Amino acid sequence: MAKVTFKTDLCKGCGLCVDACPKHIVSLDENKFNAKGHRPAYCTDNDACVGCASCAIMCPDCVITVER
């Protein structure tokens, strides 16, 4: 099982990771803002993550870590 983590304080909410996820389990948090005023990305279902790291590859700010 894979584990995906986001450095939400550094996320600028660009949404590239959301579009890259083949399982459609990455989303922008509609309920909170980070310190920079952006809606950070997060994984909606960690159990469904296959560890492909597409989200991490697409992230321009390297805020996503995927562990297998």
pTM of the shown model: 0.91
The residues spanned by each domain of the chain are 3-67
SS (H, E, C) the chain: CCEEEECCCCCCCCCHHHHHCCCCCEEECCCCCCCCCCCCEEECCHHHCCCCCHHHHHCCCCCEEEEC
Which fold does the domain 3-67 belong to in CATH? Alpha-Beta Plaits (3.30.70)
Q: What is the pLDDT of residues 15-68, one digit of tens each?
A: 999 999 999 999 999 999 999 999 999 999 999 999 999 999 999 999 999 998
- pLDDT class of 9 with cuts at 50, 70, 90: very high
- pLDDT class of 1 with cuts at 50, 70, 90: confident
Give the model's pLDDT for residue 55. 98
